[in-house]
Amino acid sequence: MTSQLLETSESLSPHTLLDQVLSNFTGRCCITCSFQADDMVVLHMLRRRLPEIPVIFLDTGYHFPETYSYRDHMSAAWKLNLINARSEVSVAQQESEFGILNRTDPARCCQMRKVEPLMAALENFDVWFTGLRREQSPTRRDLKKIERHQLPTGRSLSKISLLADWKWAQVAEYMSANAIEYLPLYAQGYSSIGCEPCTSLPANPNDPRSGRWSGQKLECGIHTFSTRVK
């Protein structure tokens, strides 16, 4: 990572920033993908340059059937190098030992089924692309397009959020211009889509994440448990 790129990254368009990152960074790249529209836009950009880029999907065992179906459809259509990151504990084992954590302790459920599998999967990579945008949540307001993150093991990698300064209208415009199919749940009114038990229609139409975790929290933790290195 060059100091010049860090200084200029915030003013660069996603395509220009992507080209600069791939020119200046070394090591293995990956993208985390929930198959929501933001991630699909970044994945579309990446595939033009890195057709075999590993695509990490956090398979919690609790996703909507529509999400699994769309994941399989797009993985086949785009010939994705898909990695399904899963907890070492099955859903049945977890529920047998701890009960229905998504009801009683959603933070612990997310830790077991999302955070821990992702932190383990990222150990194999040096550059991590995301579809995060500042507009999505107050917890993402200070998101930088390029950040250096340290995993719980102490290993560091670069986290790249190409769309950090994009608005939803720009995401929708890109999806339309490139004829990218949407996850069908959007058509049902969902605006932020996670695990089925913890996702409902948005309570506030101006807050896309107001349908997550019944308002109990804003993040599952996968973007907060790695430490941003200043």
Q: Is 220 a catalytic residue?
A: yes
Rounded Cα distance between 66 and 62, Å, is 11
Catalytically annotated residue among 30, 110, 195, 220: 220
- The DSSP secondary-structure symbol of 194 reads -
Alpha-carbon span 185 to 151, nearest angstrom? 32
Element (H, E) at 120: helix 116-122
> Exposure of 35 by Cβ count < 10 A (0-12 exposed, 13-18 middle, 19+ buried)?
buried
The pairing of strands 54-58 and 29-32 is parallel
34 class by beta-carbon count within 10 Å (0-12 exposed, 13-18 middle, 19+ buried) = buried
User: How wide is the angle at C-alpha 136 spanned by C-alphas 10 and 65, nearest 5°?
Assistant: 125
Residue 200, token pair as written in the block: 């409902």
**Residue 74 host element (H or E):** helix 65-77
Q: Could you give the residue numbers annotated as active site?
A: 220
